[in-house]
Homo-oligomer: A and B are copies of this chain.
Amino acid sequence: MDVRGRRYTLTISCPDRPGIVAAVSGFIAGHKGWITEANHHSDHGSEWFFMRHEILAESLPFDLEGFRSRFASIASEFGMRWQVSDSAAKKRVVILVSRQDHCLYDLLYRWRSQDFEFDIPCVISNHDDLRGFVEWHGIPYFQVPVTAESKEAAFRRVMQLFEEHAGDTMVLARFMQILPAWMCEALPGRILNIHHSFLPSFAGARPYHQAYERGVKLIGATCHYVTALLDAGPIIEQDVIRIDHGDSVDDLVRYGRDIEKAVLARGLRYHVEDRVLLHGHKTIVFK
């Protein structure tokens, strides 16, 4: 249930030139479409243009397919990369976890309380620890053990489960395994990770230990798209909290959980609401 009503969300990126906004808003207005939210961005270095519109579905005289077929000629004229989605069709988010459960717990709460709109068709883990909690929520849970030898087969199985459950988006909610390159490349801009540092500082293993050793005064977390290059994908959201000399590594781990789950939740919300547009290895986030 969304009190704002059913909406179509149109996202566009294309080379910048005069007339884009006029063409798109003219199209919408020509069909009496009611715009509830609109955002633009011109990237001055690359001369590239980005745009997102939310339009009340009931204000338009056609459905999503009708939208797509009618909009195609404008898109073609401006060389647009574009998509339009329907808020009635919730994104299907498959969650991968290991043993750490704070992000999972938080996402299950947000799903259950409809904090924002998404479905969780299943949770996949290399361990069995979190089965009870997930199944209590009525969500299927699959254990896929990952060992050095079984790694390739394990990720084939994960991919199969993702496809069987018609996943749109995969979330690594503190999933302590590195995905194979083929998997990252199969789902570009569709796998989100939460890294427990303020990237690019402290990429790789044990970031809280690294932060403690360096003596930084703030620790952070980063939600980013996964690419084949470890911890180097486009950043969606980041945040930090203050620590001090009295905090041990255990304290950093403990306080860090709160920032990790908050950053992942915000990043995922931006993603499922089609607020994130990719621009090379960077993101445009229309909040």
Residues on A facing B (Cβ under 8 Å): 3, 18-19, 21-23, 25-26, 28-30, 32-44, 59, 101-102, 105-106, 109, 113, 115, 136, 198-202, 214-218, 220, 234-240, 244-246, 248, 250, 254, 257-258, 262, 265, 279, 281-285, 287
- Chain B's nearest CB lies how many Å from the CB of A253? 10
- Asked if A237 and B250 sit within 8 Å, CB to CB, the answer is no
Closest to A237 in B: B217
Contacts of A115 in B (CB 8 A): 254, 257
Dominant SS among interface residues on chain A: mixed
Give the residue of B109, B198, B238 whose beta carbon is less than 8 angstroms from that of A105.
B109
Chain B residues closer than 8 Å to A245, beta-carbon distance? 41, 43, 279, 282-285
Given the complex of chains A and B, what is the CA–CA distance between A136 and B262 in angstroms? 25
List, in ascending order, chain B residues with CB within 8 A of A200's CB: 201-202, 214, 216
Q: Is the CB of B44 within 8 A of A40?
A: no
Q: Decide yes or no: A32 and B44 within 8 Å by CB, A216-B199, A254-B115 being known contacts.
A: no
| Minimal Cβ-Cβ distance residue in B for A109 | B105
Contact A215 B44 (CB under 8 A): no
| Inter-chain contact A240/B237, CB cutoff 8 Å | no
- A239 x B218 contact (CB < 8 A): yes
Task: Give the Cβ gap from A123 to chain B, nearest Cβ, in Å.
Answer: 16
Complex contacts, A102 vs chain B, CB 8 Å:
109, 113
Q: List 29 A-B contacts (CB under 8 A).
A: A18-B33, A18-B35, A21-B38, A22-B25, A22-B26, A22-B28, A23-B29, A35-B42, A36-B42, A37-B40, A39-B39, A41-B246, A43-B245, A101-B113, A106-B109, A198-B218, A199-B201, A199-B216, A200-B201, A201-B201, A215-B234, A217-B236, A217-B238, A217-B285, A218-B238, A240-B240, A245-B279, A245-B282, A245-B285
Residues from chain B with a CB closer than 8 A to the CB of A59 are 18
Q: How far is the CA of A3 from the CA of B249 in the complex (A)?
A: 12
Chain B residue contacts of A19, Cβ below 8 A: 29
CA distance A285 to B237 in the complex (A): 22
Choose among A22, A33, A200 the residue with the greatest number of B CB atoms under 10 Å from its CB: A22
Inter-chain contacts of A240 with B (CB < 8 A): 218, 240
Q: Tell whether, in the assembled complex, residue B235 and residue A214 are in contact, meaning their CB atoms are under 8 Å apart.
A: yes
In the complex, A22→B236 CA distance in Å? 31
Q: Which residues of B contact A257 (CB under 8 A)?
A: 115
Contacts of A218 in B (CB 8 A): 198, 220, 238-240
Given contacts A234-B215, A245-B283, contact A18 B32 (CB under 8 A): yes
Rounded to whole Å, the gap between the CB of A78 and the closest CB of chain B is 12
Residues of B within 8 A of A254 (CB): 115
Q: Which 6 A-B pairs have the closest CB atoms?
A: A215-B282, A22-B29, A21-B25, A22-B25, A19-B29, A217-B238
